Structure 1
Amino acid sequence: MSHFPIRWRRSAAAASLAAAVSVLAALLVPASASAVTATPAASCVRTLAQGDSRVSVAYGGVDYSVLVHVPAAPTSKKLPLVVDLHGSNSNGVVQASISDLRTLADRKGFIVVEPTGAIAFPQTLPDGNWAWNVPGVPLTSGTYPPADSRDDVAFLRTVVSQIDATGCVDDRRVYATGYSGGGRMASALACEASDVFAAIAPVAGLRAGRAAAEDLTTPVPATCTPAQPVAVVTFHGTDDFVNPYAGNSDPRWGYSVNTAATRWAEINECRVGPTIAQYSASIRTLTWSKCSRQADVVLYEVTGGGHTWPGTSVDLSPLGATTQEISASEAMWEFFSAHQRRG
């Protein structure tokens, strides 16, 4: 399936939140010789409030407050759902400002949910500083999460399930994105919850399983074995010093972004690629296509880009340059729109 990149201009009216991030972080029907009668989709009624709200999600005996945004739409219309995950040492409120997916959700008609991790950092932000429990991977401190840490793959499954129950969600169109550590968490969801997520869009955080302890330049195949293909689009700056494009010797990161994208192309059994194209002056795309169940893989490589979210109006300058040649949020939604879960 072809991918059609889009152009975007930055809004001059957007506010700066540098302090908030200072430390970081159609259903496939089988062919048949005989006629097949399609089963009508089950009806639903959305009870989630329109606009911004907080939903209490119960998991493991604890109630977690989750930020949700619902666009204006008929309550019986099934809507796509995007799970938007914050970086390490951050929270869902900060991530909502960085991605600004709520504004896009109102224009395009999808629900966005911005949960918060449960591994605490020293608190400096109003809603706390938190990290995700990425399976088998150390924290930015170099230590591993405590043994009793929340299982965030299971927790995020629960988040989707609860929003599904009250939000009239189209189960074929559930997606995940995330920034930095949230991108690593979104990658883990593709590896371990491919029955839920149709596509992912990590920003500055694509992984394809844990880096091999004996050779950090390669992922361990057994740590990412999705039951079905998940389409992938990702955005990464070549001057990212937190999660370096070329990889590093940190077991939290390890192998290169190109290696991660290539591995996803292997997982998705892509037969063509990478096809390289110049998107703009400093951005090129690497695309793998003709993949199983149309689960394409697209990498936006941002020359000179830092550990930042392309197109954001939030000031992330301590983390390097932020390109305004593309909006990652706009581009990922276009990609999501072209990829639904098939089975």
Structure 2
Amino acid sequence: MVIISKGIYLYLEMNYRIIISWMILVGSFSCQRILEPETDNWESGIHQMTLAHDGLDRTYTVYIPEGFDENRVYPLVLILHGGGGTADLVIENDNWLATADEQKFIAVFPDGSRNDMESSASFNTNPQTWNDGSERTSIGAVVRQVDDVGFIESLIFKMKDTLSIDNDMIFATGFSNGSSMTFRLARELPNVFEAVAPVAGSDWMQQLVPDTNPPRLLYITGTEDPLNPFEGGDIFIGNTYIGTKPDVEEMILPWTDLLSCENGFTTDTQQDIRTYQFDCTESEQLKMLALIGHGHHWPGSESSLPFAVVGENATSLNANDVIWEFFSASF
């Protein structure tokens, strides 16, 4: 059981005002942005778009890398923000645009849904979340039963209709609640993705779509993450229960069956990274990295959240580089 003391929580709540005000401002900007019309004529840069799905006007940002050639076929990488986050915050904090420019892939940053879709996203009062299949009552999109799987599937179809996307090079990654959503996509749209890389979230689902081939999986998490405890357990902020997480090693083991690997693993620790190695029929099918001493942060990014809530930003790992290396192992 992970508990953040009431005294610390109240102190942090007061000091959050500046941080949350900044996040609300950024979120307000992202939701009041001018959305581009439908287009087949893409050019390098940021494109902020909308897609009507299941009665909701969903927003997402497309980044076309520098030197874009409309005659070239490109990989597609979907990057899902954490609970309460936005596409804009991921773009600002996690350096994915530079990675896309360097590695020449198209990056798509979808936004989750919020309770009041007519109002701006707010970390505090109108958070954007994903329906990750967890049945957690603390996740708004779960309570509202939002069709996020259908939204992502429609979004990918739209990208393939308007851009030259390689069907064998479609990938997804996400953080926290976005990580759990990435696990769900891997289970429910297994033939869509070649590989996925959830970071600091849980796989809440039990089933895989029958007669399908699941994507290769890289999982990354910190060993000192109070919001995704490595050994599992109940999570509280103050006296407020926000969910129970499974033990990380036990959670990942079902993927050995899904990916035709031997049950079990070996580990190798180098500096602050413990690598879990699995005996699979093909290399780079399943991999897990435990970041020793690391908390609830995107590895390799700056974090504005207080360490007392999310733990230390302690790793030397750059998640963008490691994830792309895993994704690109297939080509």
Aligning the two structures, in what range does the TM-score lie when normalised by the shorter sequence?
Answer: 0.7 to 0.9
Partner Cα distance (2:92, 2:289) in 1: 22
Give the Cα–Cα distance (whole angstroms) in 2 for the partners of residues 92 and 328 of structure 1: 17
Q: How does 1:3-82 map to 2 (within 5 A)?
A: 19=20, 47-71=41-65, 72-82=67-77
Show the counterpart of 1:42. none
Q: Which has the higher helix share?
A: 2
1:228 aligned to 2:213?
yes
Cα distance change of structure 1 residues 310 and 248 upon mapping to structure 2, 3 Å threshold: same
Tell me what 1:274 maps to.
265
Check the 8 A contact 1:70/1:112 in 2, yes or no.
Answer: yes
Residue 290 of structure 1 corresponds to 280
Q: What runs of 5+ residues in structure 2 fail to find an aligned partner? A: 1-17, 25-38, 236-241
Tell me whether 1:154 sits opposite 2:150 in the alignment: yes
Does the aligned pair in 2 maintain the 1:91–1:117 contact within 8 Å?
yes
Question: Which residue does 2:313 correspond to in 1?
Answer: 322
TM-score by length of 2: 0.77
Stretch of structure 1 that moved more, 186-195 or 317-326: 317-326
1:156 aligned counterpart, secondary structure: helix
Q: How many residues align?
A: 287
Distance 1:226 1:184, change over 3 A: farther
TM-score by length of 1: 0.75
Q: Is the 8 A contact 1:101 1:329 kept in 2?
A: yes
2:5 maps to what in 1?
none
Report the alpha carbon displacement of residue 289 of structure 1 after superposing the two structures with TM: 3.8
Which residue type is aligned with residue 127 of structure 2?
N
Aligned counterpart in structure 2 of residue 163 of structure 1, from 139, 159, 163: 159
- Is the alpha carbon distance of 1:97 and 1:128 closer, same or farther for their aligned partners in structure 2, counting shifts above 3 Å? farther
Task: For 1:316 and 1:225, locate their aligned partners in 2 and report how far apart those are by CA, in whole Å.
Answer: 41
- Superposed CA deviations along residues 175-205 of structure 1, whole A, max 9, x for unmatched, are 1100100000000000000111111111101
C-alpha deviations, 1:95-143, integer Å up to 9, x for none? 2233321110000000111111113389535996200111252143699
Change (3 A) 1:144 1:116: closer
Q: What is aligned with 1:108? A: 103
Is 2:320 aligned against 1:332?
no
Q: Secondary structure at the match of 2:201?
A: coil
Compute the displacement of 1:252 (Å).
4.9
Q: Give, as a single letter, the amino acid of the residue that structure 2 aligns with 1:236.
A: T
Code of the aligned partner of 1:124: S
Q: Partner residue of 1:181?
A: 177
| Aligned equivalent of 2:128 | 130
What stretches of structure 1 of length at least 5 have no aligned partner?
1-16, 23-44, 211-220
Q: CA RMSD in A?
A: 3.0
Structure having greater relative contact order (Cα 8 Å, sep ≥ 6): 1
CA spacing shift, 1:323–1:86, aligned 2, 3 Å = same
Q: Which residue of 2 aligns with 1:202?
A: 198
Kept in 1: contact 2:114–2:126 (CA 8 A): no
Residues 133 and 142, structure 2, Cα contact 8 Å, conserved in 1: no
